[in-house]
Structure 1
Amino acid sequence: MRQSSAVFRMIAPLIAVGVLLVGCGPSPVPNSAPSQTAAPAPAQTAASDKPLRVAPAPSALNLPAGSLYKNPTNNRNELVLADVRHTAVLIGDSQAMPAGSWPQQGIAALGYKLHVVGMGGTGYVATNGKTGNYIDALQRGDWVLPYGEPPLIVVEGGGNDATQRATDAQITGNAERLLAALKTRYPGSRLAMIGTLARGISNGGGRRTEVDALLGRIAAKHGIPFVSAGDWLTRYDAIGDLQDGVHLRATGHAKLGVALARELTALGLTARPDNPQPAK
């Protein structure tokens, strides 16, 4: 018995050392733990480095004019025009809608064909119960814009916003949204704005003339050419050409069409020739 105790006293330190060595080893990895060995993550690509999806030229689609095309770059239906390179887009209200309206006459006089979208009773904020305001109607696809890149896009309006008592903040917010959407969708197109047709602040123009001035400030902020029409009914003696206090007869459209063409020309918005001749 004494011999056994002596032997135990001799080997006990060795056992303790073994236990300590085992305790300092690496902990076992649970079976559920994922492997820590993996291929390196792919390098991140900056957004600006991502390849842009470029839609084919309208002529490459082999679709007849008037066809709707689902543009893969923005996932929207767009209208194939016969000659988008020479077509200006006009977005507007009842001042712009009738064939031969003063906005249509003024733009056509600069050498453009026209694609007109919009509806009476609408505006930057105003709606008519059938469709939304300018930006909402375009975003929903109520009005179809052309495929390709038109040389000029003109936005006219504001009268219905004045009638429906839209605030400056509401008009500004929606105008900003509209301009941003158009710039994104047609980055190569020139933009222009036509203000609100009215009598002028000293001749009873009231809120309509105020909206015209507000739109002018918004256009200036974005560096967009702007034609103020806030006193045109008085300036161009067109009050007598009104048929209902707001809308013009053919004679009034003719007067203001000439005035608009002159203003747009002064802003350098005439149609550009395909092959400009070198200066002599």
Structure 2
Amino acid sequence: MRKASALTRFVASGIAVAALLGGCGQTPAATPDSGVPSPAQAAAAGAYQARGGDPLGLSPGSVYRNPASGRDEVVVPDMRHTALLIGDSQSEPTDGWPRLGLAAVGYKVHFCGLGGTGFVASNGKTGNYIDALQRGDWKLPYGTPALIVIQGGGNDAAHGATDAQIVANADRLIGALRERYPGARMAMIGTLARGANYGGGRRTQVDALLGTVSARNGIPFVGVGDWLSKYNLAKNLADAVHMDAAGRRSLGGLLGSRLRQLGLEGPSLDGTVPVAAPPATPAD
């Protein structure tokens, strides 16, 4: 009863909400009133969400001014089983292969991003990943995701971003996400390409570069800079860089297998995170 009462007082404090069109959204949220929740009220809201409910009982898609970060965040149902995916046009479609790969290992997916963007690249509608996050072009979800995945690099390769620019913005993005979601698991997916010896060019170079960024930050990395040639999937290209439906399904299956190898399966229904099994001991 105390928690329910705290939630009621928290709603009454004047935190404003606004409906989103969907996804991370680009609709400005209302400005909150001057009421500031107490630590007990904030803890009650967090406890409510931890039990599987939405903060303050708000409907999914609402925008909530998080008192801890001071930023507008999107209310997402069941964050315990949701992966936050930040990416470009490879991830944007509902059947994009990064989404399919995450779904294959037990995650619901909440996407933030837009086609044509990247660590450095922007598309005129939103900024690059870090600028879009900081300016509020799209909004992160409220609560801690089960996994955070950053995918991209293709548009940076296409638009001539330098190694230094990509590394600097990738580091900024990782730092901002770690500040927002302390302790959350993270992973990075590189740049889909044909491979260095099969015409991968700058895309393969950016994939390798992102691998070094991930390693330096202690983040598991799925390098995909040779997958089109390695798995004979260039035949499934719908254009120069995007896959047809069959190719997306194939890549999604490959990604799911790689996530399992890295011990990044989704949490079980009770909210616990599975522990990666130790490598098998070769038989004598």
Query: Do the two structures share a fold, i.e. TM-score over 0.5?
Result: yes
Matched positions, count? 229
**Equivalent residue in structure 2 for 1:254, among 243, 249, 255:** 249
- Aligned CA distance change for structure 1 residues 278 and 90 (closer, same or farther; 3 Å): closer
Inter-partner Cα distance in structure 2 for 1:150 and 1:241: 32
Letter in 1 for 2:142: Y
Note if contact 2:267-2:273 (Cα within 8 Å) is conserved in structure 1. no
Q: Tell me the TM-score normalized by structure 1.
A: 0.78
Give the letter aligned to residue 124 of structure 1. F
1:8-55 Cα offsets, whole Å, 9 max, x none, are xxxxxxxxxxxxxxxxxxxxxxxxxxxxxxxxxxxxxxxxxxx9x966
Contact 1:236 1:256 in 2 (8 A): no
Which protein has the larger Cα radius of gyration, Structure 1 or Structure 2?
Answer: 1
Distance apart, 1:161 and its partner CA:
0.3
For 1:110, the aligned partner's letter is: V
- Deviation of 1:272 after TM superposition, in Å, equals 2.1
Task: Report the identity percentage.
Answer: 59
**Contact kept? 2:266, 2:273, Cα under 8 Å:** no
8 Å CA contact 1:124, 1:174 repeated in 2: yes
Corresponding residue for residue 117 of structure 2: 122
CA shift for structure 1 position 275: 6.1
What is the Cα deviation at residue 276 of structure 1? Answer: 5.8
Hey, what does 2:150 align to over in structure 1?
155
Q: Distance in 1 between matches of 2:157 and 2:134?
A: 23
Distance in 1, Cα, partners of 2:144 & 2:236: 36
| Distance (whole Å) between structure 2 residues aligned to residue 278 and residue 164 of structure 1 | 39
Alignment-derived partner of residue 202 in structure 1? 197
Gaps of 5+ in 1: 1-50
Q: 1:103 aligns with which of 98, 102, 111?
A: 98
1:197 offset after TM fit, Å? 0.2
> Shift in Å at residue 75 of structure 1?
1.1
* Aligned amino acid, residue 260 of structure 1: L
Q: Would the aligned equivalents of 1:151 and 1:188 in 2 still touch at CA under 8 Å?
A: no
Aligned equivalent of 2:129, options 134, 138, 141: 134
SS of 1:192's equivalent in the other structure is strand
Q: Secondary structure at the match of 2:202?
A: helix
Q: Is the 8 A contact 1:93 1:118 kept in 2?
A: yes
Shift of 1:269: 0.3
Please, what is the CA RMSD of the aligned residues? 2.1
Give the gaps of 5 or more residues in structure 2.
1-38, 276-284
Q: Deviation digits for residues 97-152 of structure 1, max 9, x if unmatched?
A: 11111100000111011101111110000111111000000111111111011110
- TM-score for both structures, normalised by structure 2: 0.77
CA distance in 1, matches of 2:62, 2:261: 35
